[in-house]
């Protein structure tokens, strides 16, 4: 799946603005529009991006700036190694569990990371960018389909995310906050 869709879906599912906010949503402020978003939206958006920007991002930016290319012709081996670690459910789970010992709310926004990995399982074919969810224990890659070779795997998810975000924003702006017990993320 493309990186933007990962980020938008992560924020839609794992922030107070999105699904985990329940009926209440973000912590209310005096400014109604600012009450729609809080730090959990940015955090979940970031962790939706995280596996790709940490592994592929630096090489992609370097190639774009200095090679004047998209950068996927001669990807160094270290990029694939980082990619395997950032796309491992074992690594993501261990780090999220560790963070949850100190900050439950932040750990919940980090769930956008394993969600990214799970969606990549189905949208990346085996090969250098195959999703190795059990790495470093296993190098097995799920037999998905490359999203960049199938237009529907790019177009459909981004259209769904646009509709989802229109609904979320409409709901959060138009509706008054409900009871505090509906918010699945605490105010810590």
pLDDT tens-digit map of 142-157:
887 776 667 666 677 7
Whether pLDDT at 186 is above 60: no
pLDDT tens-digit map of 106-121:
999 999 999 999 999 8
User: Residue 179: its pLDDT value, please?
Assistant: 37
Instruction: Please check whether residue 185 is in contact with residue 105, taking contact to mean a CB–CB distance below 8 angstroms.
Output: yes
User: Residue 55: its pLDDT value, please?
Assistant: 92
User: Residue 2: its pLDDT value, please?
Assistant: 82
User: Residue 81: its pLDDT value, please?
Assistant: 93
User: Residue 30: its pLDDT value, please?
Assistant: 65
CA-to-CA separations, 62 to 52, 58, 78, 85, in angstroms, rounded: 15, 6, 14, 21
User: Residue 57: its pLDDT value, please?
Assistant: 87
User: Residue 29: its pLDDT value, please?
Assistant: 65
Instruction: Please check whether residue 81 is in contact with residue 91, taking contact to mean a CB–CB distance below 8 angstroms.
Output: no
pLDDT band at 70 (very low <50, low <70, confident <90, very high): low
User: Residue 157: its pLDDT value, please?
Assistant: 78
d(CA 171, CA 58): 37
Instruction: Please check whether residue 92 is in contact with residue 117, taking contact to mean a CB–CB distance below 8 angstroms.
Output: yes
Give me the DSSP letters along 24-43. T-SPP-SSTTTTT--HHHHH
pLDDT tens-digit map of 148-184:
667 666 677 778 888 888 888 788 777 644 434 445 5
Whether pLDDT at 85 is above 90: yes
pTM: 0.80
pLDDT band at 33 (very low <50, low <70, confident <90, very high): low
């Amino acid at each position: 799946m493309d990186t933007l869709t990962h980020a938008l879906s992560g924020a839609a599912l794992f922030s107070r603005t999105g699904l985990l906010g329940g009926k209440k949503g973000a912590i209310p402020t005096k400014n109604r529009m600012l009450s729609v978003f809080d730090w959990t939206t940015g955090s979940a958006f970031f962790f939706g991006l995280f596996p790709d920007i940490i592994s592929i991002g630096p090489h992609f930016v370097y190639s774009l700036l200095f090679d004047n290319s998209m950068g996927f012709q001669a990807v160094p081996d270290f990029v694939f190694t980082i990619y395997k670690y950032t796309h491992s459910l074992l690594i993501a789970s261990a780090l999220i569990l560790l963070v949850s010992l100190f900050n439950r709310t932040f750990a919940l926004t980090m769930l956008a990371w394993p969600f990214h990995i799970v969606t990549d399982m189905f949208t990346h074919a085996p090969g250098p960018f195959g999703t190795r969810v059990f790495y470093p224990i296993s190098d097995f890659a799920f037999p998905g389909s490359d999203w960049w070779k199938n237009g529907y795997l790019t177009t459909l998810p981004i259209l769904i995310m646009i509709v989802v975000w229109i609904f979320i924003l409409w709901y959060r702006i138009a509706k008054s906050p409900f009871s505090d017990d509906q918010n699945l993320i605490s105010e810590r």
